Structure 1
């Protein structure tokens, strides 16, 4: 089964959103540093929205990297492009900061790094999104393609 499009049915949406309940129950620490609860503002509604994403990497100065599996189609991605001020939680740590899509070349490099560090997770993600196993050069291209690929977004905490 592939998830080349965001979930459309109520059941599929509920399953995708289940990790948010883990954070809301105060159990975000159980997910460790592998996932982030991102709170962003809807570009049309102006209301707070939530999504749980896998941490794809870190920068050397404390920022977290996350991937937009559905590229520019992702609602959260479209929202943070319009309104980059966000709140996010990793484990029990909470931050306020800024979400910034990486430039295409850096995004591709970071996606390829993620695939090197977590090859099984990366292959599973690629298959689920309908990309097959793209190989190193394919990860570079997918990360650099904001529209149809998997761009990387930096979540930088305020100092």
Structure 2
């Protein structure tokens, strides 16, 4: 069921205490406690396309390669998310996983690949996938067709280290 206040694929940005809660993991990374968050979250640095200032966002790792040289993340707020637009403008950046920073280059994945990524993600994390689909205004029945539809609409980005691999393992 689509949300009435936003179009599917474009949820409203959190405000107030919800925004603080969403941004709290950044403080953990800044305090050197990134390893407590495991391998499922990363801190992405990006440069503001207007301000040219360093910005940070914590993102869930949707998939990663076995060698730890490539990670796939998703823009849950769609292609209008600041971090996503900033990476489009300047794709070379730094991602921190645990306490280790990695120089990465962002590769923007096509919608058919996003559909496959979403189906694979839902097999590994069914509850989280349903919540993500519901949050974005897509059907939450968990069926493969609705997951593919959501995956085609969600912008996925692969962050490759220099010389990074393209095969991914389940996280």
User: TM range, normalised to the smaller chain?
Assistant: 0.7 to 0.9
Moved more, 69-78 or 53-62: 53-62
Name the Cα RMSD after superposition: 1.8
TM-score, L = length of structure 2: 0.82
Tell me the number of residue pairs that the alignment of Structure 1 and Structure 2 aligns: 153
- The match for 1:150 is 154
Determine which structure has the larger helix proportion and give its number. Answer: 1
Answer yes or no: is 1:84 the counterpart of 2:91: yes
Point out which structure has higher relative CO (alpha carbons under 8 A, 6+ apart). Answer: 2
- The match for 1:31 is 37
Q: Which has the larger radius of gyration?
A: 2
Matching residue within 23, 41, 64 for 1:17 = 23
Contact 1:111 1:152 in 2 (8 A): no
- The match for 1:101 is 108
* SS in structure 1 at match of 2:102: strand
What stretches of structure 1 move > 4 A for 4+ residues in a row?
Answer: none
Answer yes or no: is 1:140 the counterpart of 2:158: no
Matching residue within 117, 125, 128 for 1:110 = 117
Contact 1:95 1:158 in 2 (8 A): no
- Unaligned ranges ≥5, structure 1: none
- The match for 2:168 is none
- The match for 2:133 is 126
Matching residue within 71, 86, 94 for 1:64 = 71
Aligned counterparts of 2:93 and 2:118: Cα–Cα separation in 1:
22
TM-score, L = length of structure 1: 0.88
Deviations 1:43-89 (A, max 9, x none): 11111110001100024563100011111121111111111011111
